[in-house]
Amino acid sequence: MVKRILVTGANSGLGKSLITQGTMRGHFMVPHYRKNSSIYENLEGDIRGFRFLDKLQDTLHKHNITVFINNAAVYLSGSIVDMADCEIDEVIETNLIAQIKMLKRVYKVFRDKGKGKIININSLAGKFPSAKESLYCASKAGLDAFSKSLQLEAIGTGVEIVDVYPGAMRTKMTGHRGDQETMMSPKEVAMGVLDTLDNSTYYVNELVLRKRNERRFTN
């Protein structure tokens, strides 16, 4: 069955692969880009930006979106004492506060229709914190707790909420590491995420994706 899917953070990495793989499966894909793009049917802007939430709601209605994949995020590593306060603000606002505000709007639209699926792309960093990733881990743990609570609230509404926890992927976020060749590709993860759309009598509400024999937990 064809789904109408909106993917945030589609410029590169997993978001870009989700758009590619979803299109190949015949779904109607609407990408979100932080910066201007030549693609006409899309959503643009910083998710923290002025009036972005209005544009998001307009896009949900205009394209009759049935699946919202919440993928946009920023990454920052290093000791917390070396991080500027403005960097702390950016990570928490992008990875948690702005996403809660988006999910509030998406959940209301889907609840009012009596159907819809929200897929939150989290990270194993939200479950297994690691050294020098304290801020990123905190933002992902916060999203995990919010989503789990919303899953309970959504029971009986027709809205399904899925939390996806990928392990390390070959993206810009892991470009500083020297073991990218051992990581999952964004294509592999995208295929796993899209597979959750095909269940007719049940749905997966949590999906952990890890490379075989992976020793590191985080993204």
pLDDT of residue 122: 96
Is the pLDDT score of 40 beyond 60? no
Closest CA to 196 of 77, 67, 62: 67
CA-to-CA dists, residue 193 to 42, 89, 172, angstroms: 21, 29, 20
pTM: 0.90
Q: Is the dihedral of CA 110, 116, 122, 128 positive or negative?
A: positive
Asked if residue 46 has pLDDT above 90, the reply is yes
Q: Can you tell me the mean pLDDT for 115-130?
A: 93
pLDDT at 139 over 70: yes
Average pLDDT on 171-186 reads: 65
**184 CB contacts (<8 Å, ≥6 apart)?**
166, 167, 168, 169, 170, 209, 210, 211
Find tokens 């990928």 and name the residue: 166
- What pLDDT, in 10s, does the model give residues 67-79? 999 999 999 989 9
pLDDT exceeding 90 applies to what percent of the chain? 72
CA distance 34 to 73: 11
Residue 174 has pLDDT above 70, yes or no: no
3-state helix, strand, coil in the chain (%, to 5): 45, 15, 40
State the amino acid at position 119 in one-letter form: I
Domains of the chain: 4-209 (3.40.50.720)
Average pLDDT over residues 72-91: 95
pLDDT tier at 219, thresholds 50, 70, 90 = very low
Does the structure show a pLDDT above 90 at 28?
yes
Q: Which residues pair with 116 in a beta bridge?
A: 159
What is the model's pLDDT at position 36? Answer: 66
Task: Please give the pLDDT value at position 200.
Answer: 77
**pLDDT given for residue 39 in this prediction:** 58
Query: For residue 180, is pLDDT > 90?
Result: no
Residue 218 has pLDDT above 80, yes or no: no
Average pLDDT over residues 182-210: 88
Is residue 217 scored above 60 in pLDDT?
A: no
